[in-house]
């Protein structure tokens, strides 16, 4: 049995919380406003079946948790809330605590290690799709791969990371260990930058974007620019070229998620802030830092920002 804190009980955080509590662990929630989560039971439905659990405590005050010795803290807030979330939990990180970042986009690890020792911070690449039906209730809509977990700089003892992976896997969430989790995360950044903003702007599923020659051309250019940005910043990717990734993107990644709408689509519809700054916006910043402007990514970024309220 482990003591586990979930920071952010949205679409992804609710899934982790319910599955880990069902598996017999002590699970706590740290949220922005606990009044929104005044429910006795949290529920998850969808492709992984029906699950429900009562969490040990849900609070919006980190002080309420200071006497708990956490084994795992899973951060599942939106990327624009990462810094505040890390500030809230930094004093809860003790000798045996590991923090797993599950957010989309670039910069979450770089932000976290400003406040928490690097060897305590793990990346968790999440590529299952989940949406919030109402507070305390999420639906898993699709799963393209395991949650891949690792320490980006391999600073943590491998056996300890694998133990955390097993905790999540044995709870029923597909998970595996990755020595090259930073490259794996960039695979997802490529995927999200190509699909999320276009799906949100045009209100289209991933499969529809891939089938349309006009949106396909835009996505190809987004991907090619990201490869150029990574090359200029000496960021290592899993693929040798944009063309190699593009072939994999359409043949392997799109088919299992073809009926999926991006989270950014739901964010815009709800009038919520999107994660565009950690996706295409981050690509633009990384490019401009080295004197290169990725024009298609910048156009997509500007379009999304124009619609944010």
Which neighbouring-strand residues pair with 149? 124, 177
Taking CA 242 as the corner, what is the angle to CA 255 and CA 145, rounded to the nearest 5 degrees?
35
DSSP single-letter state for residue 250: I
**Angstrom distance (rounded) from CA 83 to CA 267:** 20
Give one DSSP letter per residue of 259-276, joined into a string: TPPPHHHHHHHHT---SG
The tokens describing 82, both together, are 């990462």
**37: nearest Cα among 20, 68, 13, 70:** 13
The tokens describing 8, both together, are 């952010």
Q: Report residue 32 CA to chain centroid gap.
A: 18
Phi, psi of 83 (to 5 degrees): -60, -45
The secondary structure element, H or E, covering residue 223 is helix 213-232
Q: 136: alpha, beta or left, given left = phi > 0 and alpha = psi -120 to 50?
A: left
Catalytic residue among 66, 118, 188, 224: 188
3-state SS class at 2: coil
**Angstrom distance (rounded) from CA 187 to CA 215:** 20
**Angstrom distance (rounded) from CA 34 to CA 40:** 12
**Catalytic: 96?**
no
Residue 27 CB contacts under 8 Å (≥ 6 apart), including other chains: 4, 5, 6, 17, 20, 21, 53, 55, 56
**Which positions are catalytic?**
188
């Amino acid at each position: 049995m482990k003591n586990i804190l979930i920071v952010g009980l949205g679409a992804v955080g609710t899934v982790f919380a319910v599955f880990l509590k069902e598996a017999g662990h002590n699970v706590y929630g740290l949220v922005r406003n606990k009044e929104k989560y005044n429910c006795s039971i949290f529920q998850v439905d969808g492709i992984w079946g029906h699950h429900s659990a009562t969490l040990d405590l849900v609070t919006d005050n980190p002080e309420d948790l200071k006497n708990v010795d956490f084994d795992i803290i899973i951060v599942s807030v939106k990327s624009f809330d990462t810094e505040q979330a890390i500030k809230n939990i930094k004093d809860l990180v003790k000798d045996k605590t590991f923090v797993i970042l599950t957010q989309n986009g670039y910069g979450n690890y770089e932000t976290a290690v400003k406040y928490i020792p690097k060897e305590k911070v793990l990346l968790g690449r999440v590529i299952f799709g989940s949406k919030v039906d109402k507070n305390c209730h999420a639906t898993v809509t699709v799963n393209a791969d395991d949650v891949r977990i690792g320490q980006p700089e391999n600073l943590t003892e491998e056996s300890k990371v694998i133990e955390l992976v097993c905790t999540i896997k044995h709870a029923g969430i597909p998970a595996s260990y990755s020595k090259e989790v930073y490259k794996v995360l960039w695979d997802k950044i490529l995927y999200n930058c190509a699909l999320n903003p276009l799906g949100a702007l045009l209100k289209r599923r991933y499969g529809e974007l891939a089938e349309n020659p006009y949106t396909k051309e835009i996505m190809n250019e987004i991907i090619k620019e990201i490869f150029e940005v990574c090359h200029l910043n000496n960021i290592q990717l899993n693929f040798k070229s944009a063309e190699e990734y593009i072939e994999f993107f359409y043949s392997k990644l799109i088919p299992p998620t073809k009926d999926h709408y991006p989270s950014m689509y739901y964010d815009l519809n709800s009038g919520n802030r999107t994660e565009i700054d950690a996706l295409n916006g981050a690509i633009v910043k990384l490019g401009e830092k080295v004197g290169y402007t990725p024009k298609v990514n910048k156009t997509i970024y500007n379009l999304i920002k124009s619609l944010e309220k």
